[in-house]
Amino acid sequence: MDPAIHPQSTRDKILDVAEARFSQRGFAGVGLQELASAAGLGKSSLFHHFSGKVQLYLAVLDRVLERIELHVAPALASDAEPRAALDRVVDTLIDSLVEHPTAPRLLLRALFEDDEFPDEQAPEVQAVDRRLHSLVSAFHAVVERGVARGVFRKVSAPDTIQTLIGATIYHFASGDFGRELFGEPLLAASAVARRKREVKLLLRHGLRTPGPGPNETPERNPT
Amino acid sequence: MDPAIHPQSTRDKILDVAEARFSQRGFAGVGLQELASAAGLGKSSLFHHFSGKVQLYLAVLDRVLERIELHVAPALASDAEPRAALDRVVDTLIDSLVEHPTAPRLLLRALFEDDEFPDEQAPEVQAVDRRLHSLVSAFHAVVERGVARGVFRKVSAPDTIQTLIGATIYHFASGDFGRELFGEPLLAASAVARRKREVKLLLRHGLRTPGPGPNETPERNPT
DNA sequence: GTCTATACTACGATAGAC
DNA sequence: GTCTATCGTAGTATAGAC
């Protein structure tokens, strides 16, 4: 149990190889035999750690969401000025996606593939849904707060969430296409820095209240 | 051959059911038996119309891209003012995605799933790549033109393309998640209209050159 | 906790009758 | 152009030995 002696359990090793494979080819595209041999196990041994393929997939997803949550939560929880909070969300979210490059694809699949899991009410499904909902509603609150304080235009919060997801999760999920579009890997340091800058600037300018006021520090405008 | 007498060939029927299934569950998630019986055929009959599963999938993709191209091309080809052209691109692209709701998911998969097709140089693969590249480079030109004319900030064109894809294709691909986020189907008339408006406004404000100038008609500012 | 062995189904694809 | 039959493989899952 000591992580210094057992740096990773068999279960964690399975999760690691499953995360890599599922990220690349999706749930249906990966077989348990492939996973088992990649983890150095026999096919049947997987069933001693996970009750089935679906549960393994959900465990992978849950771990990915947990890591994102850990990175982004501070930026979302802070009651900082909305524009600064939004910048921090973009930075921390992109940091977490870059640190674990399997995450964007797994998340993207989870978001757009309508889960067709046999038991919709299974505890594993609900755990994943709960984490996702937590992140989304926290970001929703940041946008609404910005609108209420008058530092953002009267944008639709759900639409803004979708745009942010597209600008971050989709972006870093687009593998060959993205690499060809930019002429360099999406994970290259320069490409990551540019992406952060571009997204933050687009949101900065795109969300701010137009008006004749100065484009900086129109803070605290109660009523 | 007369479309009035033969409104759709067997090949088209196969393409239709394949488009629906592949859109929902992806390439690996759909079996040929399922496709065949949904098209009212025996499994083996598929091989008389397509030489294999991969070719069928690529034919579906190509048809989807062709339809998008037909909708969006006029907006991209026009040498109109860049901001107006951008608005038209958003409108026509979203129109085409809504008209064929299978398209967003198929396109999204094509963009982020690194094609692991046996023969990378097969003509079918290149046909799809060509259509995709055509659309992307045309949009690239619109953004660059706007930057050159000074009506857009000095944004990164590839980053802008990624953002637009996320804001449109990802958005309309996000099924259950999107429906839960908005509280109504993404294809509801009100949701579509709002999405168009939000994306166009975000780009309008997010891309325009800041400066002290008026927020409207800073046209023609040659050096 | 991992293994071999096995059950049963489905997969993509081919051959050949009609 | 569609069919039945079949091949070889791989799929998820279970049972039981070690």
**CB-nearest partner of A181 from B24, B161, B182:** B161
Question: Model confidence at B7, in pLDDT bands (50, 70, 90)?
Answer: low
A155 neighbourhood in chain B, CB within 8 Å: 198, 201-202
Q: What is the mean pLDDT of residues B27-32?
A: 98
Measured from the CB, is B29 under 7 Å from any atom of strand C? Answer: no
CA distance A132 to chain B (A): 10
CA distance B60 to chain A (A): 18
Over the stretch A34-75, which tens digit does the pLDDT of each residue have? 999 999 999 999 999 999 999 999 999 999 999 999 999 999
- Using CA atoms of A130, A132, A134, A137 in order, give the dihedral in degrees to the nearest 10: -130
Q: What is the pLDDT of residue B217?
A: 47
In-domain check, residue B29: no
Q: Which residue is nearest to nucleotide D11 (CA to C1')?
A: A31
CB B170 to CB A174 under 8 A?
no
In-domain check, residue A65: yes
A111 neighbourhood in chain B, CB within 8 Å: 174, 177
**CB-nearest partner of A202 from B108, B114, B163:** B163
CB A181 to CB B136 under 8 A?
yes
How far in angstroms lies nucleotide C15's C1' from the CA of residue A22? 36
Q: How many CB atoms lie within 10 A of CB A155?
A: 20
How far in angstroms lies nucleotide C2's C1' from the CA of residue B90? 56
In-domain check, residue B17: no
Q: How many CB atoms lie within 10 A of CB B187?
A: 13
Residue A183: closest C-alpha in chain B: B158
Q: Please give, one letter per residue, the 3-state secondary structure of chain B.
A: CCCCCCCCCHHHHHHHHHHHHHHHHCCCCCCHHHHHHHCCCCHHHHHHCCCCHHHHHHHHHHHHHHHHHHHHHHHHHCCCCHHHHHHHHHHHHHHHHHHCCCHHHHHHHHHHCCCCCCCCCCHHHHHHHHHHHHHHHHHHHHHHHHHHHCCECCCCHHHHHHHHHHHHHHHHHCCHHHHHHHCCCCCCHHHHHHHHHHHHHHHHHHHECCCCCCCCCCCCCCC
Measured from the CB, is B42 under 7 Å from any atom of strand D? Answer: yes
Question: Model confidence at B222, in pLDDT bands (50, 70, 90)?
Answer: very low
pTM of the model: 0.94
Any idea which nucleotide's C1' is nearest the CA of A50? D13
Over the stretch A115-170, which tens digit does the pLDDT of each residue have? 888 787 889 999 999 999 999 999 999 999 999 999 999 999 999 999 999 999 99
Mean per-residue pLDDT of chain A: 92
Q: What is the mean pLDDT of residues A195-205?
A: 98
CB B159 to CB A105 under 8 A?
no
How far in angstroms lies nucleotide D5's C1' from the CA of residue B197? 58
The tokens describing A84, both together, are 């600064």
In-domain check, residue A131: yes
CB B28 to CB A24 under 8 A?
no
In-domain check, residue B174: yes
C-alpha A22/C-alpha B124 separation (Å) is 26
The tokens describing B78, both together, are 């026009």
How far in angstroms lies nucleotide D11's C1' from the CA of residue B149? 58
In-domain check, residue A97: yes
**CB-nearest partner of A171 from B162, B174, B182:** B162
C-alpha A196/C-alpha B28 separation (Å) is 34
CB B114 to CB A176 under 8 A?
yes
Q: The CATH number of the domain where A64 resides is what?
A: 1.10.357.10
Q: Helices A103-112 and A53-77 sit at what angle, rounded to 10 degrees?
A: 100
Question: Model confidence at B189, in pLDDT bands (50, 70, 90)?
Answer: very high
CA distance B132 to chain A (A): 10
B165 neighbourhood in chain A, CB within 8 Å: 166, 170, 174
In-domain check, residue A40: no
Q: What is the pLDDT of residue A65?
A: 98
Q: What is the pLDDT of residue A8?
A: 84
Over the stretch B98-140, which tens digit does the pLDDT of each residue have? 999 999 999 999 999 988 887 878 899 999 999 999 999 999 9
| Boundaries of domain holding B122 | 60-207
C-alpha B41/C-alpha A157 separation (Å) is 47
How many structural domains compose chain B? 1
CA distance A167 to chain B (A): 5
Q: Is A137 on the interface with B (CB under 8 A)?
A: no
